[in-house]
Amino acid sequence: MCGIVGYVGAQQAAPLLLEGLTRLEHRGYDSAGLALLGGTGIKVAKRAGRVRDLTEGLPKRFAGKAGIGHTRWATHGPANDVNAHPHADAKGRVAVVHNGIIDNAGALRQRLADEGVDLVSDTDTEVLAHLVAASEADTLEGKVGAALAQIEGTYGLAVLHADFPDRLVVARNGSPLLIGVGEREMYVASDLAAIVRHTTTVAHLDDGEIATVTATGFTTYGGDLRPVSRIAETVDVDPASYDAGEHDSFMHKEMVEQPAAAERVLRGRLDDRFGTAHLGGLNMDARETRAIRRVKILGCGSAYYVGQMGASLVEELARIPADAEAASEFRYRDPVIEPDTLYVAVSQSGETIDTLLAVQEIRRKGGRVIGLVNVVGSAIARECDGGIYLHAGPEVAVASTKALTNMFLGFTLLALQLGRVRDLSIADGKRLIAGLERLPAQIQEVLDREDEIAEVAERLAAADSLFFVGRVRGYPVAREGAQKFKEISYRHAEAYQTSELKHGPLALVSEEVPTVAIVPDDELTERNVGALHEIAARRGPLVVVTHEGVDLGGVECVRIDVPRNERELDPILLVVPLQLLSYHAALRLGHDIDKPRNLAKSVTVE
């Protein structure tokens, strides 16, 4: 949601900013805009629609060597040209782009209107431009600081001012902002993806900080405008990982990358000698680990469903009561925070506001939170007491695949470590380690069946509505399968416990409503097969994701077999075919796989 990019240096800013905005498209947006600072002051171009529309509609002479750009996801006011960012003050001497939400925008708009300011947009951001313009401070950082002192809420923002043509000022509070250092040129961005082709030397702002950025350097200030030292560091990232390469979409590329990503999250963390995992980032010794009486996992969307898989792993391996809850609901029920509960926040982006606010709520009440996060240095990662980085590499597609797989593996490592300081035997620990080591190659085996799964997907794409069902370990798999199908195929896909089918949903099963059933080889196989017969008896088309050799009792169905591993690790091998099913159904339906309608990669507003 919402993206920021900025540039100051010797080159023309517009092409660099447009390229940066294109790189941010996957985050989800509905309008885009640029402001440039040239010889004649500030020029703004913005419009509803895609970055492509903005590019095509740019005025001929649109030049300047400093500029800011934005992709907007509408919050205050509809997606139209006027509400698109950047926003300017009445004289057009200040331009602002902003991510986040200003909570007291209503009161500020009223005050400005009473003072005779003509507000042209419906947005909260516009007030910032007027407040910066009205400040009598001598410096641009002083003016921005004075404006920010009047607002409540969250922001990542960048400001241009015609009186300070050599600089941008940026600030952060709850919404990421980084500065990229180039050769006598500087970039700013809300996400490294926007600038990674130009520099990988970056400095992240902390909440409450402001920075002045010129072509030759930057200075960072605390909220009191006293300089604070912040050193740019070169991040170890391959810019090519932000390109889809030979793949038709990032989702496809990211599915294919899963075996390699899985190896990365396991690397150096398995201890075969003691049959355990080493997770140095948890910042807990054996005594503290043993004192945990309960595990509570919090995440949103796919991260929530994989959290349910993680809770099962913790219960099975460590015999600690564990459950997962949607982070978006957690804080609103005034949760009881227990000192001997380990809270686990799980998030690819590390930016999801609902998850971040849940973490803050827990910490405010004295709870201990660890993060399972992919993006290093992200807000959730920084807010937690410790954690496990997922090392999946950048994930661009909205539909999470490789990050989800690595979340599952992160939970396995956590459960293993928690289990081994309790009753999990060394033999069981070694059994699981051997299973984990086999997993990347087995994920590859499933991926190699893509053509076969694509055929099944074609049939599913024809249905308007379908069920995904599973039991116990298979239920979160079904939920994740339904989530993916909804996200990118826009078909109504509903997940149920197989055991609950007969308590209601069976009424909907018919020739037109297929069911995707998760039937692993486990203690419930026989019962699951019974449910398959109930569905088949009502002529419901069936796709069964199961293990090689499982006897499905002659039920009429299309089966997709996955390799066997240790039972505890089943979910991830069962999930991969569901990713391929959704992907091929969406492809068949002609949808934009990486940018599904109405969705954003990172949901940074409540």
Name the residues annotated as catalytic: 2, 601
The candidate with the shortest Cα–Cα distance to 201, out of 214, 217, 220, 212, is 217
Does 302 bind ligand G6P (CB under 6 A)? Our answer is: yes
Helix (H, G, I), strand (E, B) or coil at 529: helix
In angstroms, the CA 473 to CA 545 distance is 13
Cβ closer to ligand G6P: 205 or 358? 358
| Contacts of ligand G6P in 343-402 (CB under 6 A) | 347-349, 352, 355, 398, 400
Does 602 bind ligand G6P (CB under 6 A)? Our answer is: yes
Cβ closer to ligand G6P: 320 or 493? 493
Residue nearest ligand G6P by beta-carbon distance: 301
The candidate with the shortest Cα–Cα distance to 572, out of 406, 449, 432, is 406
The stretch among 195-203, 247-255, 278-286, 300-308 that binds ligand G6P (CB under 6 A) is 300-308
Cis status of the peptide bond prior to 59, with omega within 30 of 0:
no
The candidate with the shortest Cα–Cα distance to 578, out of 566, 562, 589, is 562
In angstroms, the CA 334 to CA 412 distance is 29
Q: Of the candidates 303, 456, 478, 585, which one interacts with ligand G6P according to CB under 6 A? A: 303
Smallest distance from ligand G6P to CB 523, Å: 30
Phi first, then psi, for residue 436 (nearest 5°) are -60, -40
The stretch among 178-186, 414-422, 449-457, 598-606 that binds ligand G6P (CB under 6 A) is 598-606
The stretch among 157-165, 228-236, 295-303, 358-366 that binds ligand G6P (CB under 6 A) is 295-303
Smallest distance from ligand G6P to CB 603, Å: 5
Q: Which two tokens stand for residue 183?
A: 């050769």
| Contacts of ligand G6P in 225-264 (CB under 6 A) | none
Q: Of the candidates 169, 181, 194, 603, which one interacts with ligand G6P according to CB under 6 A? A: 603
The stretch among 270-278, 296-304, 452-460, 462-470 that binds ligand G6P (CB under 6 A) is 296-304
Please enumerate in sequence order all residues whose Cβ is within 8 A of that of 570, keeping only pairs 6 or more positions apart, or say none.
473, 474, 520, 522, 547
- Report how far apart the first and last C-alpha atoms of the chain are (Å, whole number): 11
Please enumerate in sequence order all residues whose Cβ is within 8 A of that of 462, keeping only pairs 6 or more positions apart, or say none.
none
Please enumerate in sequence order all residues whose Cβ is within 8 A of that of 273, keeping only pairs 6 or more positions apart, or say none.
none
Residue indicated by tokens 């999946």: 392
Strands 322-326 and 294-299, by their bridges, are parallel
Count interface residues toward ligand G6P (CB under 6 A): 14
| Contacts of ligand G6P in 400-459 (CB under 6 A) | 400
Q: Of the candidates 6, 174, 301, 367, which one interacts with ligand G6P according to CB under 6 A? A: 301
Cβ closer to ligand G6P: 64 or 299? 299
Cβ closer to ligand G6P: 26 or 161? 26
Q: Which residues bind ligand G6P (CB under 6 A)?
A: 300-303, 347-349, 352, 355, 398, 400, 599, 602-603
